[in-house]
Amino acid sequence: MHTPAPQPGAPITAGTAAFNRINRAMVFGGFSTFSLLYCVQPVMPLLSEQFKLTPVQGSWILSISTLTLAISLIISSAISERVGRKPMMGLAVALAAITTVLCAFANDFGQLLVLRAILGIALGGMPAVAIAYLGEEIEKTSLGTSIGLYIAGSAFGGMFGRLVAALISDHFSWRVAFAVLGAAGLYAAWDFWRSLPPARNFRPATHSWRDLAGGVRQHFMDPGLAMLFCLAFLLMGCFVSLYNFIGYRLLAAPFNLSHSAMGAISLLYLLGIGSAVWVGRLVDRVGRRGVLWLVLLTMLCGLVLTLSQSLPIVILGTAIFTFGFFASHSVASSWVARRASAPKALASALYLFFYYLGSSVVGSFTGLLWERNAWSGVVLGLGGTLGVALLISLRLRKLQPLAA
């Protein structure tokens, strides 16, 4: 049955050709962003060994990227308000892929850190602008599904990047791994550009850069958005911390896994793909208030299971934790897109600013807990962090809708 194309300026609904093209492009964009950003996680022990680094020092190969990404998000969202969403996102994924190829030729850890910092700056043009694009173009009752698919692509990219980096590093070297992933990123950037329709509802901003501070203040005056920003910081900090340091645990006794086997743990991201799409559709039907606290509680239960000395139970706990994280992120990020008023891209950028800032701050701080009390210290710290996130989600249940 033929579905008529939406009229110019009309919100794009599920079932149309434009809706399918947008979702395809966003899957590729999310895939590229997260595969290039997180491919370094499984090779942290290798880099620590080669460059004589502590686990905390080694964690900066990821933390430096997420830190510069957090800063870049605000600037990129402001630029996108003038130049448009699609050009900003396309340039971001292409530059990130090129930078990843260059990482393969770094002479020392210092050069590698500089390149990873540049990669974070480049990637800033994708995540915040993507959510703003979807919020402007997609009809509200279909928005949760589209954001869920975008996050599913992100989950698949994170899984692919980690798995491929671990396998290639085990059989060749981490340099070859970066070169291969950079080439894959270039293909993803090309497919993203050809698939994504031009924005139909974007209007270039006419305000000055000085209005940026006013926009930030406006979003923080909304108690719902402020709580969602805090939640982003806590969620991503917990998720990155677990995957940063579980590798060190599983490579050591009593598990003694190989790097390839450790990389295979990233297959659990498939659960993230499923949970993001599933919870996006669930939210479209029943709302965010009754879902968010439940998926956060799921994360906490999974975290506790990782304390076991049984490998299958540790993997089960990591799987439950991963499922809960991607579901929570899907609910929270779609809530920002739904609740925020103009400038929408800035609201998404602020959410992701705290999201990636949490990755850097909590991710590095957790390294100190690892060095002091090993995995039990990590679980205790992350458990407390998730407890705070759960309290915020319960406050959000009582949040008055903007229409009220």
pLDDT tens-digit readout, 263-322: 788 788 777 777 777 787 777 777 677 788 889 999 999 999 999 999 999 999 999 999
Instruction: Assign 17 a pLDDT band (cuts: 50, 70, 90).
Output: confident
- Residue 231: pLDDT over 50: yes
pLDDT at 3: 45
For residue 378, the tally of other CB atoms under 10 A from its CB is 25
Please give the C-alpha separations between residue 387 and each of 234, 301, 369, 393, in angstroms, as whole numbers.
10, 11, 17, 10
What's the whole-number mean pLDDT along residues 223-252? 90
Q: To the nearest whole percent, how much of the chain has pLDDT over 70? A: 93
- Residue 207: pLDDT over 70: no
For residue 376, the tally of other CB atoms under 10 A from its CB is 12
What's the whole-number mean pLDDT along residues 24-42? 90
Could you read off the pLDDT of 269-286 as tens digits, one per residue?
777 777 777 787 777 777
For residue 253, the tally of other CB atoms under 10 A from its CB is 6
Least confident of 266-270, 370-374, 380-384, 388-392: 266-270
CA angle 94, 126, 116 (to 5 degrees): 65
Q: Which residues, 6 or more positions from 390, have their beta carbon under 8 angstroms from its beta carbon? A: 293, 296, 297, 300
pLDDT at 234: 96
pLDDT at 100: 96
- Return the higher-pLDDT residue of 41 and 237: 237
Radius of gyration of the chain (CA): 20
- Residue 206: pLDDT over 70: no
- Rounded to whole angstroms, the Cα distance separating 173 from 255 reads 23
pLDDT at 154: 82
- Rounded to whole angstroms, the Cα distance separating 56 from 60 reads 7
- DSSP-assigned letter for residue 43: G
What's the whole-number mean pLDDT along residues 143-152? 80
pLDDT at 274: 74
Assigned token pair, 129: 């602008």
Average pLDDT over all residues of the chain: 85
- Residue 134: pLDDT over 90: no
Assigned token pair, 360: 């850097």
pLDDT at 186: 94
Cross-strand bridge partners of residue 12: 138
pLDDT at 315: 94
Q: To the nearest whole percent, how much of the chain has pLDDT over 90? A: 35
Least confident of 148-152, 174-178, 195-199, 254-258: 148-152
pLDDT at 403: 53
- Rounded to whole angstroms, the Cα distance separating 172 from 385 reads 38
Please, what is the angle between helix 311-339 and helix 344-397, to 10°?
Answer: 120
- Residue 103: pLDDT over 90: yes
